[in-house]
Amino acid sequence: MEKVDAIIIGAGVVGLAIAAKLSRTLQNVLLIDKNQSFGEETSSRNSEVIHAGIYYPQNSLKAKLCVEGKALLYHYCQSRKIPHRRLGKLLVAHGEAEEQCLAKTIEQAALNGVNDLTWLTSAELKTSNPNLNASAALLSPSTGIIDVHSYMQSLLAELEENQGQFVAQTTFVEALPYDGGFDVTLNSQGEIMQISCDYLINSGGLHSTNLAGNIRGLAKAHIPKLNYCRGHYFSYQGKSPFKQLIYPVPEAHGLGIHASLDMGGQLKFGPDTQYIDTIDYKVSSKLKEKFVAAVQRYYPTIDAERLQPAYSGIRPKLEGPNDGFKDFVIQGADEHNITGLVNLFGIDSPGLTSSLAIAEHVQSTLKL
Ligand SMILES: Cc1cc2nc3c(=O)[nH]c(=O)nc-3n(C[C@H](O)[C@H](O)[C@H](O)COP(=O)(O)OP(=O)(O)OC[C@H]3O[C@@H](n4cnc5c(N)ncnc54)[C@H](O)[C@@H]3O)c2cc1C
């Protein structure tokens, strides 16, 4: 049987970051994905925002890995020439109750080590952002945008520079742990293959819990329920009225329908939140009314004609529609007792921002 040091299942941005990281330490790292290429699921269906890490509860993995990941990601982008821009974002309030949320956000951010937020009054906003309607805003200067595809390409190049390998159109079927490793069955375009490895990483995103069900010996108690929460985007044709990202005060399961720009300067609004039962990326044009109403609060002169359905992404969420905050789950042997196995569950936002820090966390979970 062929043998490698590590198999990483799932070539989204997180699996790629883990594979690139492990390939610096291990000889033979194999990254697989069931799709035609890398990053075809959640990693190419998001806002492409480098988050500051201001909202998440103190000491949560999301807070810690977002703040660490942001610093690592900006450094990585600079050193590997990945297109990105530190545009900054405005978190906008309308009225006293929302301004109180902004004040609490400053405190929460400080607990997470983010101390660079500044308060802008409505008079200051009128001068700097004449198209914006808000009674006050917080400026987060460390928020930015990134070309995720270039970032993923660079991680893949790093893996290959270190003699690691990426194989597409290859589906994980099952794994059988033995003392010190795993016998793994893969299906590569209809051909069944057996490979053994010392380390097995489940970074399967929306499929991570189904995958985990096919790791023999992993107790069902360690496999959480995953919920699908779709977010839709509408693009805004023509010149953007904003130079920064504009966010409303966060809502229950997302950050609210915000305005973000891509590296080409295209403005888009979204994502909203809609829990769904099956993976389906449709964007109904009927959502336009809801989008116009949400955006009008901070951009009253929006031209609905310029708003077009664009794309959607699905958050792999551990929290259901009636639950509160749930953190990333990154399980190693201390949790499930299977040496060499790491399962990643619920890697929704800020998974992109956190990706390099998640990779470091996985490496230390493996005690490498
Ligand atoms: C609407 C939306 C907006 C977001 N915005 C942001 C943002 O602005 N900033 C931010 O930091 N984060 C954001 N996120 C979160 C971020 O996109 C994700 O955390 C990140 O992309 C997760 O990457 P991943 O590698 O874990 O998952 P994925 O990209 O989903 O990759 C998982 C891979 O596993 C593969 N796979 C699954 N099963 C198998 C199998 N059996 N065999 C082989 N391969 C398999 C899949 O094909 C897939 O390619 C957003 C998410 C959504 C949905």
**Which ligand 1 atom is the nearest neighbour of the CA of 314?**
53
**pLDDT of 301 higher than 80:** yes
Query: Residue 204 — pLDDT band, cuts 50, 70, 90?
Result: very high
Sign (positive/negative) of CA torsion 331, 334, 335, 340?
positive
**Which ligand 1 atom is the nearest neighbour of the CA of 203?**
26
Strands of the chain, DSSP E: 2-9, 29-32, 49-50, 84-85, 89-93, 118-121, 136-140, 144-146, 165-167, 170-178, 181-188, 191-202, 227-236, 245-247, 258-261, 267-270, 274-276, 307-317, 329-331, 341-345
| Predicted pLDDT of residue 337 | 97
Question: What percent of the chain is predicted at pLDDT more than 90?
Answer: 98
pLDDT in tens, 323-340: 999 999 999 999 999 999
> 42 C-alpha vs ligand 1 centroid, how far in Å?
4
> 240 C-alpha vs ligand 1 centroid, how far in Å?
28
Mean pLDDT of 15-35: 98
> 119 C-alpha vs ligand 1 centroid, how far in Å?
33
Pocket of ligand 1 (CB under 6 A): 9-15, 32-35, 39-43, 45-49, 51, 171-172, 203-207, 211, 231, 271, 313-315, 347-353
**pLDDT of 251 higher than 90:** no
Among protein residues, the one with the nearest Cα to ligand 1's atom 33 is 10
> 46 C-alpha vs ligand 1 centroid, how far in Å?
9
Query: Residue 276 — pLDDT band, cuts 50, 70, 90?
Result: very high
**pLDDT of 99 higher than 90:** yes
| Predicted pLDDT of residue 342 | 98
Mean pLDDT of 68-74: 98
**Which ligand 1 atom is the nearest neighbour of the CA of 43?**
21
Mean pLDDT of 34-49: 98
**Is residue 360 packed enough to be buried (19+ CB in 10 Å), middle (13-18) or exposed (0-12)?**
middle
pTM of the predicted model as reported, rounded to 2 decimal places: 0.98
| Predicted pLDDT of residue 317 | 98
**pLDDT of 250 higher than 90:** no
Mean pLDDT of 280-294: 97
> 10 C-alpha vs ligand 1 centroid, how far in Å?
9
> 315 C-alpha vs ligand 1 centroid, how far in Å?
8
**pLDDT of 252 higher than 80:** no
pLDDT in tens, 253-265: 777 899 999 999 9
| Predicted pLDDT of residue 104 | 95
Mean pLDDT of 162-180: 97
d(CA 118, CA 134): 15
**Which ligand 1 atom is the nearest neighbour of the CA of 231?**
1
Mean pLDDT of 210-221: 98
Mean pLDDT of 114-138: 97
**pLDDT of 277 higher than 80:** yes
Chain mean pLDDT for the chain: 97
